[in-house]
Amino acid sequence: MARTFTLMDSRSEMREFLVSRRARLTPEEVGLPDFGGRRRVPGLRREEVALVAGISVEYYTRLERGSSTGMSESVIDAVSRALQLDEAEHTHLWNLARASCTASKQRTSSRTQPVTAGLQQLLDAMQDVPAIVQNGRLDVIASNRLGAAFYSELYASGDRPPNFGRFVFLEPRAQVFYRDWQDAAVQTVAILRGAAGRTPHDRSLSNLVGELATRSDTFRTLWASQVVREHRSGDKRVHHPVVGDLDLTFEGMEPATGKGLLLTAYSAKPGTPSHDGLRLLANWAATNDAAAKDAAAVKDAAASSSLDQPTSG
């Protein structure tokens, strides 16, 4: 049984995030002289961040302690620039600042919403590429036929809905499926960390993070690193159990009909072995579907026949 995990104390999350980001910078990297001497902790001091951001040390210290009430947009932006945050990290800092100002700390439980008929129709129309829809907790809530075939190892885990977090960290087959499993693990944690910033009191997300932190040392270590990334485009290198190695690119987009959802489609460059592999995978998926429909038809016919048989009495 997964233990309850306190996902977000927004004030401490703000402190840990800012401390981790100033720890990775040196004075030289932000244009400040380094006068030498031993530092008690690595990276920039608070006063150096404040100097580069152009705010008072007291103001920055307040922010690092999680007190963002009354902080202007310009202050958050200045601190982001001083710490050289990328777009995903900047958004995460904004989410943490908003959460720390929110009066209500009531925990909520987000239900896994189904996709609309129109969105499923769009997925099914994308016959030549694997496509899935996932939510912020990394539940796969819809796919087309080729998407389900591509992620057959994920679906084989038995979770409904299947979840990338559990698959990556709790299923040994994931380390075979992902040819760079470590990168997949970092990316998975980064997405969940971003979701935690956006929805800090989501009980379902909290339970998932608690389960992974309890059962996986690697997840627990990566979670503590405060890594945050976007996952909208990139490369996907996998070893599929049916067609072997695939080198794909992916693009993600937010459908207009589903808040917080991400539709991701995968493709391969024409003329490559991976392109041929996707075509082979599509044929395999179509054959499996036909066989499953035939088996269901036989089962239904047998059941109907048994109901038509006269009974003795």
Boundary-marking domain end, from 40, 70, 101: 101
**DSSP-assigned beta bridge partners for residue 132:** 143, 264
For 80-117, what is each residue's pLDDT tens digit?
A: 999 999 998 999 998 888 877 764 455 555 566 688 99
124 and 67 fall within a common domain = no
Compute φ and ψ for 226, nearest 5 degrees: 65, 30
173 and 271 fall within a common domain = yes
Q: Report if residue 158 sits inside a domain.
A: yes
Flag the least confident range among 55-59, 128-132, 145-149, 169-173: 55-59
Q: Report if residue 249 sits inside a domain.
A: yes
25 and 170 fall within a common domain = no
Tell me if 186 sits within 8 A of 227, measured CB to CB.
yes
For 203-223, what is each residue's pLDDT tens digit?
A: 899 999 999 999 999 999 999
130 and 248 fall within a common domain = yes
For 220-246, what is each residue's pLDDT tens digit?
A: 999 999 988 877 899 999 999 999 999
Residue among 133, 136, 169 nearest 148 (CA)? 133
Q: How many domains does the chain have?
A: 2
| Confidence check: pLDDT of 24 > 70 | yes
Residue 260 pLDDT:
84
From residue 302, give the alpha-carbon distance in Å to each of 100, 171, 306, 312: 61, 37, 6, 20
229 and 96 fall within a common domain = no
What average pLDDT does range 180-196 have in this prediction? 94
What average pLDDT does range 258-269 have in this prediction? 92
Boundary-marking domain end, from 48, 71, 101: 101
Range of the domain at 249: 117-289
For a pLDDT cut of 70, what percent of the chain falls above it? 84
| Confidence check: pLDDT of 153 > 60 | yes
121 and 254 fall within a common domain = yes
Q: Report if residue 300 sits inside a domain.
A: no
CATH classification of the domain holding 80: 1.10.260.40
Q: Report if residue 127 sits inside a domain.
A: yes
88 and 143 fall within a common domain = no
Token pair recorded at residue 93: 């800092």
Q: Report if residue 313 sits inside a domain.
A: no
pTM of the predicted protein model: 0.81
Residue 1 pLDDT:
40
CB neighbour list of residue 147: distance below 8 Å, 6 or more residues apart? 123, 130, 131, 132, 266
Residue 4 pLDDT:
44
Q: Report if residue 296 sits inside a domain.
A: no
CB neighbour list of residue 94: distance below 8 Å, 6 or more residues apart? 76
Q: How confident is the model at residue 304 (pLDDT cuts 50, 70, 90)?
A: low
85 and 165 fall within a common domain = no
Residue 98 pLDDT:
82
Q: How confident is the model at residue 297 (pLDDT cuts 50, 70, 90)?
A: very low
Angle between helix 181-198 and helix 203-215 axes, rounded to 10 deg: 150
Q: Report if residue 301 sits inside a domain.
A: no
CATH classification of the domain holding 253: 3.30.450.180
190 and 248 fall within a common domain = yes
144 and 70 fall within a common domain = no
Q: Would you list the DSSP string of 268-281?
A: --TTSHHHHHHHHH
Starting from the edge strand earliest in sequence, which strands make up the sheet with 131-134, in order?
140-143, 131-134, 262-267, 244-253, 233-240
Higher-scoring residue by pLDDT: 72, 125 = 125
For a pLDDT cut of 90, what percent of the chain falls above it? 59
Q: Report if residue 213 sits inside a domain.
A: yes
| Confidence check: pLDDT of 71 > 80 | no
DSSP 3-state of 142: strand
187 and 282 fall within a common domain = yes
| Confidence check: pLDDT of 132 > 90 | yes
C-alpha 131/C-alpha 146 separation (Å) is 7
Flag the least confident range among 30-44, 69-83, 187-201: 30-44
139 and 221 fall within a common domain = yes
